[in-house]
Every structure is written in C-alpha cells, then in structure tokens.
Amino acid sequence: MLGNRGCRWAILTLLAIAATSQNADAKDAPNGSAPAPKTTAAPLTDDVPPFVNARGGSEPLSLAISGLRSGYARIAAGRRMFGVCWNGGVGPYEVTLRDSGGDAVVHETAIDGSELVKSSKPVQFAVGLYRVDVADSAGGHAEGQFTVVEPSSPPRSQPDEVGVGSARTLSRDLTYSYEAYLSVLPLAVGRPGSDADRLTAQLCHQPQ
C-alpha cells in the first residue's frame, strides 16, 4: 500500500499530465479559444448520382443495335418490313431512312416510344448503302448505316418459327445482328411474348 507521501506523489503526477494536455490543446486552438471538437471523416459510399445528359434525358440517345451504330450491318435486298430501335434521348422522336442517293425512303415524326416498325408499308431495299437518323425533341441525333446486299450474301433467316432460332444465331454476329432483327420482325408484330418478340426486345436492349 502507498503511504501518504506516495499518494500525494501520484496525485501530483496526474495533475501535471492533465495540465500539459490542456496547454497543448490551447496552443492548437486559434486565438486561445477553446479547442475545436474532434471530428471523424464521413464513410465513403457507393452512391453515385445517375448520369443525366445536357438534353435532360437519363442517358444519351443511341441506336440500340450495335451493327447499325458501327456501320458494319448488312441486310438482304428485297421488299421487307423496316424497323429500328434506340435507347435514351428525349421524346417524341423523328426517324429518317435515306437510300444511297440521299432520298428519304422513310420519314416518321412524333414517335413516342423507342422503336419504329413499318408493318403496313414494307420498304423495297435495293443493293447499296442506307443511312438512318433518329432525332429527339431536344436536338439530339443518333446516326447509323447499313449495306444492302444480294439475298444470297448474308445467311438470311426465313420468317417462320424455325427461322427464329436461325435469327438468334445471326444476332451474335455484329455484321448480321440487324438482319436478324428484320428477319423476325414480321413474326414479332402482334405476338407479344413470342420467341420472335423476345428476340427483338433482346436486340433492342428492352425489357422482356
């Protein structure tokens, strides 16, 4: 056990340590004011605000089928149903399809959705280069192109239930992904939930 002298020594030591700590805090405080309370850094989070483009849409306007965006797409010539799909931008939209001579083959305005399908008026596709332009109501544009070739050139699918499987195989090829889309389009129109409808939704990056 500590005697009176030992107890007094221990108490004086503790008081000296406390005084030293207070003096250090006072030096750190500006103009001799009370020391600022200690703070801890806020934890980092993964919450990142969604990208919003300058046009006000949740994502930039772009053609959905990659073969159209890159210009590698090839389709078979002939009288065929035309369709195109896109993502992002601000509706309503305007779609223009031009042939190799620059003439507008298709021109539609005031489109509310993200896909245009010309089911009642097929297009006579001649061999050559075609350009498609999708414009939104805020001045955004998504442009692409595809080349029309002789029907024997691409491994074209037939518009029947067996052809859906063939089109699905074609859809994995960047060059023929748009051909796959056009091939099953007649089967998808008016048949929601069918294999053809699910494939077109997949190619257009739309909910299935």
145 located within any domain: yes
30 located within any domain: no
**Are the CB atoms for 137 and 90 separated by under 8 Å?**
yes
Q: Tell me, what amino acid is at 53? A: N
Going by C-alpha positions, the residue among 202, 204, 166, 206 that lies closest to residue 183 is 166
Over residues 145-195, the pLDDT tens digits come to 999 999 876 655 444 444 687 788 777 888 999 999 999 999 999 899 998
Q: Distance between alpha carbon 115 and the CA centroid of its chain, in Å?
A: 15
Calculate the average pLDDT of the chain.
76
Model confidence at 58, in pLDDT bands (50, 70, 90)?
A: low
Which tokens hold the place of 38? Answer: 């200690």
18 located within any domain: no
pLDDT at 116 over 80: yes
**Are the CB atoms for 130 and 148 separated by under 8 Å?**
yes
pLDDT at 14 over 60: no
Report pLDDT for 208: 60
Would you say the C-alpha torsion 88, 65, 185, 106 has a positive or negative sign?
Answer: positive
Q: Which three-class secondary structure string do you get for 134-167?
A: EEECCCCEEEEEEEEECCCCCCCCCCCHHHHHHH
For residue 182, the 8-state DSSP code is: H
Q: Distance between alpha carbon 165 and the CA centroid of its chain, in Å?
A: 26
Report pLDDT for 153: 65
158 Cβ neighbours under 8 A, 6+ residues apart: 166, 183
Average pLDDT over residues 127-135: 98
pLDDT at 26 over 60: no
Q: How far apart are CA 195 and CA 65, in angstroms?
A: 18
32 located within any domain: no
| Residue ranges making up the domain that contains 196 | 62-203
Task: Find tokens 């399908």 and name the residue.
Answer: 117
Q: Which phi and psi (to 5°) does residue 42 adopt?
A: -70, 140
Angle of helix 195-203 relative to helix 161-170, nearest 10 degrees, comes to: 20
Indicate the number of domains in the chain: 1
pLDDT at 98 over 80: yes
125 located within any domain: yes
pTM: 0.68
**Are the CB atoms for 204 and 115 separated by under 8 Å?**
yes
Q: How far apart are CA 112 and CA 81, in angstroms?
A: 20
68 located within any domain: yes
Over residues 75-84, the pLDDT tens digits come to 999 999 999 9
Report pLDDT for 93: 98
Domain with residue 86: its CATH number is: 2.60.40.1930
Report pLDDT for 42: 37
Q: How many helices, marked H, and strands, marked E, lie in the chain? A: 5, 8
113 located within any domain: yes
48 located within any domain: no
